[in-house]
Chains A and B, each alone.
Chain A
């Protein structure tokens, strides 16, 4: 696995076209104004303490209100209770604060906020408001394109609430966390564009970490991914998430993602 990661990093750092449509983290760039993006995210994570897999289905709708502001609504469905149940939802917004572009580079800075609700049982110390905890998250993300390599990094504050109505947040867990991410992306195909119909293939690697503010417990994961952009309009992501370090209780840290996305440009007149 480690060898694989190093190989992937070598790939990513080679100079070529790069991409920033990351799988786990959102870059500082927004969806275009008046574009409606529909995404179906799926994840299958292996349970550590019981046998079986934890399946999550997450339908999402994203809309670009103007060039700087976008909104996203998500629903969380999972099989934690042996059958597929809708456990909650989430609202997300991102505002691009700063951009500076040059022919072969750009830098963008954005602020984001997310509010989620969830009614499932709380079963781990990791705070994850994308499908596990009720709570909110707010932070900044910066994305830089240097020559032809895209690098994106974010820092955020995340706070968990009770998973109402039945599951109060455990008192012996820390209920707030600092999250940090670092992502790299690169376009590997085509070497030269000919038209919009060409399928693009991107390789990415992302590092995702969290520290619980109350007790300093942390984890760090790596997420290598391959992404296909079809017809300049649709997107398929296949990613694998692997825990590198952890000092906290996590019930299913390792697994795969399969995301499908379709963009409706100029969605409304």
Chain B
């Protein structure tokens, strides 16, 4: 009986490890979202309620004057940055900037593309997503010029996240 249980556990553990291994966007511990195009608290509340509907959200701190939402997420969540964009847009607005706090391992995986060569030895890093829909229209136009040599940036693949370190 004990033997069967052990085999079972081992299989389960292997499965979990496999899942974790293929998971591209693990461990975003915090997301700082600045929304654009709104000044009313009812509009902010619409975004607030959209974000709260995510089961991975532990807490949201809101600065209504800058429309910045600091979202704390559950440990080990597998959220993609795309989720935040979808939620803000569902409320009728757009992301002006998205800064993620994550571990250094996460961003070494597929999907994240560092646009500058600066190295960062911190275990926990703060990154800003630079793709279309994650910065203001004006910033995107500027970035499109300065990053025109990065083929993946100009191709606008929604599963690629171009990032820069902030810490």
A residues with CB within 8 A of B: 17-19, 21, 29-35, 64, 66-67, 96, 99-103, 105-106, 145, 148, 187, 192-196, 198, 200, 229, 232-233, 235, 263, 265-266
**Contact between chains at B94 and A265 (CB < 8 Å):** no
Among B7-15, B34-42, B149-157, the stretch in contact with A: B34-42
Given known contacts A33-B91, A67-B90, A263 and B39 CB-to-CB distance under 8 angstroms: no
Q: Which residues of A contact B45 (CB under 8 A)?
A: 196, 232-233, 265
Q: Which residues of B contact A96 (CB under 8 A)?
A: 92
**Contact between chains at A187 and B89 (CB < 8 Å):** no
Shortest beta-carbon distance from B49 to chain A in Å? 4
**Contact between chains at B65 and A29 (CB < 8 Å):** no
**Contact between chains at B90 and A192 (CB < 8 Å):** no
Chain A CB within 8 A of B53 CB? yes
Distance, CA A106 to CA B94, complexed state (A): 10
Given known contacts A19-B40, A265-B45, A265-B49, A192 and B94 CB-to-CB distance under 8 angstroms: no
Chain A CB within 8 A of B104 CB? no
Distance, CA A96 to CA B90, complexed state (A): 12
Main secondary structure of the interface of A (DSSP, over half): loop
Closest to B34 in A: A103
**Contact between chains at B64 and A194 (CB < 8 Å):** yes
**Contact between chains at B41 and A229 (CB < 8 Å):** yes
Q: List 22 A-B contacts (CB under 8 A).
A: A21-B40, A31-B92, A33-B91, A35-B46, A64-B92, A96-B92, A100-B137, A101-B37, A101-B93, A101-B94, A101-B96, A102-B96, A103-B34, A106-B38, A148-B39, A195-B64, A196-B41, A196-B44, A196-B64, A232-B42, A232-B45, A266-B53
Query: 12 other contacts beyond A106-B37, A195-B64, A196-B64, with CB at 8 A cut-off?
Result: A18-B39, A21-B42, A32-B90, A32-B91, A34-B90, A66-B90, A99-B94, A102-B96, A102-B136, A196-B45, A232-B45, A233-B42
Q: Which residues of A contact B48 (CB under 8 A)?
A: 196
Distance, CA A68 to CA B163, complexed state (A): 29
Range, interface on chain B: 20 to 34
Distance, CA A51 to CA B41, complexed state (A): 43
Distance, CA A31 to CA B136, complexed state (A): 22
Chain A CB within 8 A of B78 CB? no
Distance, CA A175 to CA B50, complexed state (A): 44
Chain A CB within 8 A of B62 CB? yes
Q: Which residues of B contact A229 (CB under 8 A)?
A: 40-42
**Contact between chains at B42 and A101 (CB < 8 Å):** no
Among all A-B residue pairs, the 5 with the closest Cβ atoms: A193-B64, A101-B37, A106-B37, A265-B49, A232-B45
* Most chain A CB atoms below 10 A, which of B44, B46, B62, B89: B46
Chain A CB within 8 A of B2 CB? no
Distance, CA A261 to CA B89, complexed state (A): 23
Shortest beta-carbon distance from B37 to chain A in Å? 3
B residues with CB within 8 A of A: 34, 36-42, 44-46, 48-50, 52-53, 62, 64-65, 89-94, 96, 136-138
Distance, CA A266 to CA B53, complexed state (A): 7
Closest to A229 in B: B42
Q: Which residues of B contact A148 (CB under 8 A)?
A: 39
B62 in complex: contacting residue of A29, A196, A266, CB < 8 Å? A196
Q: Which residues of B contact A200 (CB under 8 A)?
A: 40-42
**Contact between chains at A67 and B92 (CB < 8 Å):** yes
**Contact between chains at B64 and A101 (CB < 8 Å):** no
**Contact between chains at A103 and B136 (CB < 8 Å):** yes
Distance, CA A105 to CA B67, complexed state (A): 13
**Contact between chains at A187 and B39 (CB < 8 Å):** yes
**Contact between chains at A105 and B37 (CB < 8 Å):** yes
Distance, CA A193 to CA B64, complexed state (A): 6
**Contact between chains at B44 and A266 (CB < 8 Å):** no
* Most chain B CB atoms below 10 A, which of A17, A101, A195, A196: A101
Given known contacts A19-B39, A103-B96, A106-B36, A32 and B50 CB-to-CB distance under 8 angstroms: yes
Closest to A267 in B: B49
Shortest beta-carbon distance from A149 to chain B in Å? 10
